[in-house]
Structure 1
Amino acid sequence: MTTKRKVARRKMSLLELATELGNVSKACKIMGYSRQQFYEIRRNYQTFGAEGLLDRLPGPQGPHPNRVDETVEQAILDYCLTHPTHGPLRVAQQLALQGVQVSSGGVRGVWSRHGLLTRHERLLRLEKSVREQRLELSDEQIRVLERFSPEFRDRHIETSHTGDLVAVDTFFVGTLKGVGRVYLQSVIDCHSRYAWGRLYTTKLPVTAVHVLNEDVLPFFEEHAARISTVLSDNGREFCGRPDKHPYELFLQLEGIEHRTTQVRRPQSNGFVERLHRTLLDEHFRIKGREKWYESVEEMQEDLDSYLNHYNRERTHQGRGMNGRVPFQAFLDGIVMGEAEAETTEEAA
């Protein structure tokens, strides 16, 4: 309720109290009004009804009689948007050439009502107007922008089936007292979001090979699936001379293609980066405050327990997951991969 409405209600209460008591003086004394005010309130109520109880400013209501028309005001605002540095006299003279008659004082009055009296304020209005404009790009312009600025387009890593792309990375977990630095070798299937992880005290090619050989590949073989491509950054544990580097040699022996991300662009390996964020928020930052670890083996036991929950019990909200758990998506992706292979064979 506005202040005017509250005052009108109080005046109505005064009239009702005077009627109930049958004594105007006593009602005015209780409500804090004078007798002159009471009779003025009653006269307004009898003449105009409930609207007469609202306080009104003295003098005529509405816009000033000398105020310019709305069409003239809009013409002034439009002109000042294209020529914000012109003074009021120049604006009035230029508008006169366009058939709009207004004085320089009228221009200043319009500027005053809209907070545009200074040149700086008019320039800020122009800047705001340009900033709010939306550009409609043609298909050709969009293709040119995508060609010269890859960040312009909305990109996603596309996978067709389980094992189509597996992302790997090394993540620094922290320092364990008496043990030293602890690293996580993380692996995630980009199609199903099924994840594996092992903790080590070093980040070497042998540790990157170990997690693949001991955990990831046996799991794929158990479910009659295979890995087509591995995506990693350019770390030394993953990249080197193809004929000498242990990780490169291992992937060649397994018939797995190796791709690398752009240098200093962790976004291009977004699946595993998002996995690290989840592990931090839901596991490491919690367990690190609940338990006092003395060995990497203790940390690995708790990590295995969480990964089992992550893969088989925790619904995933990622793109294309539709609330499934990663294990179910892993199995569904195997069926999809077999169906695609059969279709390819039939087409051949």
Structure 2
Amino acid sequence: MKFATSPSALHVLLLEDAPAYENLQMSEPRPACINSIDGTDIPAVPLYAAIGPLHRHLISLCLHNPYWNDFRILNHFHRRKIPLTTNDLILLKAQCGLDNGETICNTLIRLSVQGGLKLNSRQISFIEKNKPEFRERDLSPSHPGELLVYECLFGRGIGSLGRVYAHFFIDIFTGYAFGGLSQRRSLAVGLDILLSTIMPLYRSRNYQLQMVYQSSKVMNDLRDFNKLESEEAFSQLGLQWQPTQRKFGAIEKFEKSLIANQFFETAASNSDSLESIKPLFNQCLVKYNSSNRLFSKQYLSEE
């Protein structure tokens, strides 16, 4: 049988050599019945105290076809005359450590980045759906400040305030996010955040900002940039600013976190003034940064 080995010692059995039921070699007998998650006894199938061929088969199946649901996985096994039940599959997944989408996603990333696995289109799509920032894998800054991305987000009505915009920056190297709220869409607001908040923090850590990609498909944003670029004060910053129509996954990830934390609903119920909802937005930023595994506190932690 063919195997690929990752640095995490996960052995992935290639599907073209996946065993049929009659070819599985049981390393240790299993009791005739096991307790299912609802407390009832179910007939046992050959599972293993250690990872065996059946486990490797399931690992390969889940990683090769990450969108497959339990019905499709069971159908695959049944066609190979491996009579798994739904409860058996749940137990097998738990034993393999692949019982949720995030684990599958993280495993695929490890196998790709550390193990050299060439991802197929389904795997890439699955990772990008769960971790949008994976779309930036073609960007490879080597230190903080080398590449930031910026976008003016949403512009939706919040209670009596009307339209509110979030000017949002993220460092592609650290994954660290900055931002602020305004009732103005103007690029000047984003630049003010850059000058008053971001640049001083980087300079205090002896890092220099080099490049900002501005994500936008709005012509007014491009006109704002052209006007800004002609100003002497901007040119003296020594900063490259590049407008692009690319939608960055890291920004999409932050948008999803705002929705998950019910920012808009909470803000709408406390929308007496813009100042009254700014602390709520700042809390979302802090929570986002603290939960970001790519963020390294040694670089930019704010004291």
TM range (shorter): 0.3 to 0.5
Which of the pair has more CA radius of gyration?
1
Q: What is the TM-score of this pair, normalised by structure 1?
A: 0.42
- The structure with the greater share of residues assigned to helix is 1
Higher relative contact order (CA 8 A, sep 6+): 2
- The structure with the greater share of residues assigned to strand is 2
Q: What is the TM-score of this pair, normalised by structure 2?
A: 0.48
